[in-house]
C-alpha cells in the first residue's frame, strides 16, 4: 500500500478546491492520520492576516476511516475576506500527546472581475527600443540629454565611466518605430502576439527609465502619431502592444524635476512654487531629495500627491488612459512593489475604464502572493491590481534545472507558485528566460555563470568559445521549449532567438545583429511560435507533472480535447522515461521512441527537450 501523508494541500483528498480560492468559497480540509497513531481529536487554526490577524479555531470532527487512515474534516468560510490565510492543524491522542502541522498558506482573492485571457495565451516579444532596428541614423541636435549617436549599428555600447566617474547612458543607436514597423512581418513569423516595449517616452538616457515627458514619445523613436501608426500596423497583424509604465520615479532631466533647466517649465528643483513641487520629497530643497535606490538622476516620486495621481491615472486624459487611446493594449508596471497598492489599483481601474480588454502586468521578482515591500504585504494579485506578474521565479527554476539543480526542485518551486497564485495570475504571467535586467541566458548557460569575480572589462569583451556556444545553444533550445510549454506568456527578449550574447547591462542591450543571425536557432524559435499558436492545450490547458527526478522533467498540458507531453533532459548523457498516460506521437524535438512490453519509452538526448501528443 502506498504511503499517504497526514495532509497534502495539493491533493483533493485533503483540500478542495485546489490552491488559491475566490472570496466566499467554502474550503474543505481533511486530515488523514494513520489509524495506528490512534488520534482521537483534531482541530484547525486559521489566521486571517488582512483582518488584523483575526484567528479562528475550528473543530475537525472524525468522519470515519479510509485505507487505514482516520478522517477528520472541517470547512473554512472565506466570505467577505480577501488576503492570505495562514492555517495549521493539531491532532491529539487520548493520552494528551499532540502533533502539529503547518502553517500553510491559503490565498483568497477577489473573484468578481473577469481578467482578459489574451496576454497569457500567446508569445510576447520584448523590445529595447533603441537597440532593435533603426530606419535611419538620427540627428540628436536639440534633443534632451546631450546625446551622442553611434554611426555604425555594429558598434559596442559605452560602458566605461566618464571623467566624473559616471556611466551616463547618453549614447544612442537610434532604433525607432519605423524600424519596428519594418520588422513586423519578421515578428509575425516568430508567432508573436504581444509587443512589449521598454520605455518609449522622452528621456535623457538610452534606457529611458528616467522619464522626461510622459506626454510625448522620444523624438528619436518618432512622433506620437508614429506610435499610433505602429499600433495600427501591429493590430492589423493580430498583435497587441504593451507599454512600460515607469511611475515610481522620473528623470533628473525632466519637465517635472528639471534639474538641468532644459525645459521651459518651472520644475520642482527650481522653485517652491512649481506645480510639480509636491511630486517630490526633498529633505533639503533643492539638492537633497529621495531618489530610486539613491541614484541622483532618478528622483523618486511622491505617489500620494493628489495632483500626481490625477496626472497618472485619475483624469480622463491621464497618462494611463491617453496612451491606451493612442493604441496601446496594456501596461507593464516598472518596480510595481515600490508603488502603493492603492496607486496600482488606480492604474488598473483607469486602464479597464479606458479599454476593458487591457491588462496590467507588474514587475515583481519574487513570489508575488507573499511579497512584502516597505513592511507591507502587497496585494498585487488579489484582484483589481495586477492581472499578472513577471515570472522571475520560473526563470530561476529553469536556469537552476538546466545547471544541474534537479527536476525535483523545479516541480516543488513551480507547484508552490501554482498553488499560491490565483488562476488568472498564474496563466497571465510574463514568462522570460532573460530581460534587460539580467544576463543573456545563452551566455549564462554556455559560460556556466555570471563571472562577477572577473572585471567589467573582461565581461564586456567575453564571447563564448565554440565549445561553450554549442553547450549554451543546446541548453537554450531546451530551456526555450520549456518556456513555450509552460502556462503564461512565453516572452522572448529581442535577439535571444538569433543567439545574442552578453552579461549584465549594458552588455545584454547590444543592437540586434541584422544580417548575422544564427539561422538554426531562429528556425527553432519559429517552430516554437507555431507550436504555441497551434495547440490550445499550451495556450489555456492545465498542467500536471509526470516526472521530476534528477535531470529528467516531464509534464502534461491538457485541455480542449488535447493532451501534450512535454519532456526535458538537462543531463550530460541520454536518459529514458516511460509513458503511462497514452501513446506518444512526436511533435517537436529530437527523441527516440520505442515500445517495450506495451509501454512506450522516450529516450532524450543530452541537454534536450521534446513534445509529444498523446493518443
Predicted pLDDT at 581: 87
The pLDDT tens digits of the residues spanning 89-119 come to 999 998 999 999 999 999 999 999 899 999 9
Residue 502 pLDDT: 98
Per-residue confidence (pLDDT) for residue 598, from 0 to 100 = 86
Share of the chain above pLDDT 90, in %: 97
- Cα–Cα–Cα angle for 587, 590, 594, nearest 5°? 85
β-strand partners of 610: 567, 589
User: Which band of pLDDT confidence, cut at 50, 70 and 90, is reported for residue 2?
Assistant: low
Phi, psi of 253 (to 5 degrees): -90, 95
Per-residue model confidence (pLDDT) at position 596: 86
CA distance 133 to 179: 5
The values of phi and psi at residue 14, to 5°, are: -115, -30
Q: Does the pLDDT at position 166 exceed 90?
A: no
- Give the model's pLDDT for residue 4: 86
Q: Are 558 and 535 in contact (CB under 8 A)?
A: no
Torsion of CA 62, 64, 70, 75, to 10 degrees: -50
Cis peptide leading into 17, omega within 30 of 0? yes
SS3 of residue 318 by DSSP: coil
Judged against a pLDDT cut of 90, whether residue 266 lies above it is answered with yes
The answer for residues whose C-beta is within 8 angstroms of residue 464's C-beta and 6 or more apart is 442, 443, 446, 447, 472, 501
Handedness of CA 378, 382, 388, 394 (dihedral sign): positive
Contacting residues for 263 by C-beta, under 8 A, at least 6 apart: 212, 213, 254, 255
pLDDT, tens digit (0-9, with 9 covering 90-100), for 363-399: 999 999 999 999 999 999 999 999 999 999 999 999 9
- Return the higher-pLDDT residue of 572 and 581: 572
Determine the Cα–Cα distance for residues 431 and 487; give it in Å rounded to an integer: 9
Distances from the Cα of 489 to the Cαs of 256, 478, 525, in angstroms?
A: 35, 17, 14
Mean pLDDT of all residues in 265-273: 97
Q: How confident is the model at residue 456 (pLDDT cuts 50, 70, 90)?
A: very high
- What is the C-alpha separation between 74 and 8, in angstroms, rounded? 15
| pLDDT of res. 137 | 98
**Residue 145: what pLDDT?**
94
Q: What is the pLDDT of residue 60?
A: 98
What is the Cα–Cα distance from 381 to 392, expressed in whole angstroms? 15
Residue 1 has pLDDT above 60, yes or no: no
> Contact, 285 vs 292, CB < 8 A?
no
Average pLDDT over residues 197-202: 98
pLDDT digits (tens, 9 = 90+) for 207-230: 999 999 999 999 999 999 999 999
Cα dist. 71→74, 99, 198, 264, 539 in Å?
10, 15, 54, 74, 38
Taking residues 32-55, report their average pLDDT: 97
Question: To the nearest whole number, what is the mean pLDDT of the chain?
Answer: 97
Amino acid at each position: 500500500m502506498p504511503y499517504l501523508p497526514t495532509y497534502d494541500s495539493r491533493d483533493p483528498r485533503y483540500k478542495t478546491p485546489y490552491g488559491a480560492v475566490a472570496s466566499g468559497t467554502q474550503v474543505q480540509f481533511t486530515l488523514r492520520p494513520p489509524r495506528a497513531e490512534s488520534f482521537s481529536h483534531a482541530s484547525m487554526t486559521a489566521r486571517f492576516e488582512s483582518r488584523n490577524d483575526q484567528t479562528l479555531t475550528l473543530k475537525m470532527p472524525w468522519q470515519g476511516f479510509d485505507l487505514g487512515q482516520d478522517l477528520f474534516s472541517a470547512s473554512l468560510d472565506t466570505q467577505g475576506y480577501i488576503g492570505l490565510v495562514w492555517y495549521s492543524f493539531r491532532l491529539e491522542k487520548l493520552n494528551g500527546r499532540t502533533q502539529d502541522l503547518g502553517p500553510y498558506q491559503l490565498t483568497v482573492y477577489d473573484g468578481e472581475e473577469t481578467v482578459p485571457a489574451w496576454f497569457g495565451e500567446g508569445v510576447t516579444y520584448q523590445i529595447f527600443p533603441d537597440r532593435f532596428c533603426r530606419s535611419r541614423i538620427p540627428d540628436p541636435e536639440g534633443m534632451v540629454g546631450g546625446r551622442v549617436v553611434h554611426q555604425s549599428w555594429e558598434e559596442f555600447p559605452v560602458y566605461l565611466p566618464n571623467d566624473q566617474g559616471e556611466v551616463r547612458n547618453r549614447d544612442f543607436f537610434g532604433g525607432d518605430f519605423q524600424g519596428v514597423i519594418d520588422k513586423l512581418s519578421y515578428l509575425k513569423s516568430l508567432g508573436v502576439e504581444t509587443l512589449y516595449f521598454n520605455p518609449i517616452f522622452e528621456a535623457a538616457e538610452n534606457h529611458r527609465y528616467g522619464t522626461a515627458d510622459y506626454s510625448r514619445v522620444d523624438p528619436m523613436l518618432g512622433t506620437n502619431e508614429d506610435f499610433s501608426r505602429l499600433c495600427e500596423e501591429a493590430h492589423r497583424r493580430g498583435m497587441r502592444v504593451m507599454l512600460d509604465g515607469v511611475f515610481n520615479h522620473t528623470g533628473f532631466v525632466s519637465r517635472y524635476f528639471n534639474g538641468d533647466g532644459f525645459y521651459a517649465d518651472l520644475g520642482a528643483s527650481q522653485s517652491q512654487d512649481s506645480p510639480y513641487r509636491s511630486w517630490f520629497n526633498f529633505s533639503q530643497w533643492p539638492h537633497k531629495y529621495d531618489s530610486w535606490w539613491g541614484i541622483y538622476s532618478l528622483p523618486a516620486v511622491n505617489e500620494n500627491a493628489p495632483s500626481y495621481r490625477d496626472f497618472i491615472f485619475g483624469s480622463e486624459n491621464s497618462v494611463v488612459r491617453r496612451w491606451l487611446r493612442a493604441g496601446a493594449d496594456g501596461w507593464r508596471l516598472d518596480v510595481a512593489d515600490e508603488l502603493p497598492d492603492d496607486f496600482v489599483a488606480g492604474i488598473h481601474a483607469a486602464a479597464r475604464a479606458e479599454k476593458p480588454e487591457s491588462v496590467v502586468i507588474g514587475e515583481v521578482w519574487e513570489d508575488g502572493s507573499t511579497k512584502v515591500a516597505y513592511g507591507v504585504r502587497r496585494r498585487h494579485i488579489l484582484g483589481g491590481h495586477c492581472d499578472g506578474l513577471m515570472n522571475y521565479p520560473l526563470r530561476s527554476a529553469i536556469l537552476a534545472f538546466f545547471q544541474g539543480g534537479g527536476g525535483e526542485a523545479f516541480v516543488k518551486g513551480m507547484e508552490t507558485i501554482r498553488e499560491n497564485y490565483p488562476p488568472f495570475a498564474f496563466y497571465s504571467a510574463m514568462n522570460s528566460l532573460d530581460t534587460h535586467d539580467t544576463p543573456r541566458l545563452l551566455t549564462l548557460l554556455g559560460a556556466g555563470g555570471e563571472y562577477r569575480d572577473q572585471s567589467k572589462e573582461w565581461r564586456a569583451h567575453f564571447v563564448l568559445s565554440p565549445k561553450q556556444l554549442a553547450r549554451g545553444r543546446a541548453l537554450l533550445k531546451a530551456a526555450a521549449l520549456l518556456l513555450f510549454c509552460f502556462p503564461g506568456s512565453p516572452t522572448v527578449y529581442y535577439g535571444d532567438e538569433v543567439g545574442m550574447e552578453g552579461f549584465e547591462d549594458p552588455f545584454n542591450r547590444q543592437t540586434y545583429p541584422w544580417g548575422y543571425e544564427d539561422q538554426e536557432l531562429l528556425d527553432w524559435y519559429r517552430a516554437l511560435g507555431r507550436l504555441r499558436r497551434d495547440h490550445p492545450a499550451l495556450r489555456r490547458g492545465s498542467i500536471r507533472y509526470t516526472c521530476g527526478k534528477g535531470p529528467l522533467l516531464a509534464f502534461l498540458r491538457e485541455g480542449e480535447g488535447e493532451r501534450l507531453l512535454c519532456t526535458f533532459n538537462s543531463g550530460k548523457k541520454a536518459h529514458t522515461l516511460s509513458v503511462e498516460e497514452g501513446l506518444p506521437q512526436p511533435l517537436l524535438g529530437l527523441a527516440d521512441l520505442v515500445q517495450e512490453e506495451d509501454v512506450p519509452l522516450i529516450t532524450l538526448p543530452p541537454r534536450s527537450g521534446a513534445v509529444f501528443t498523446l493518443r
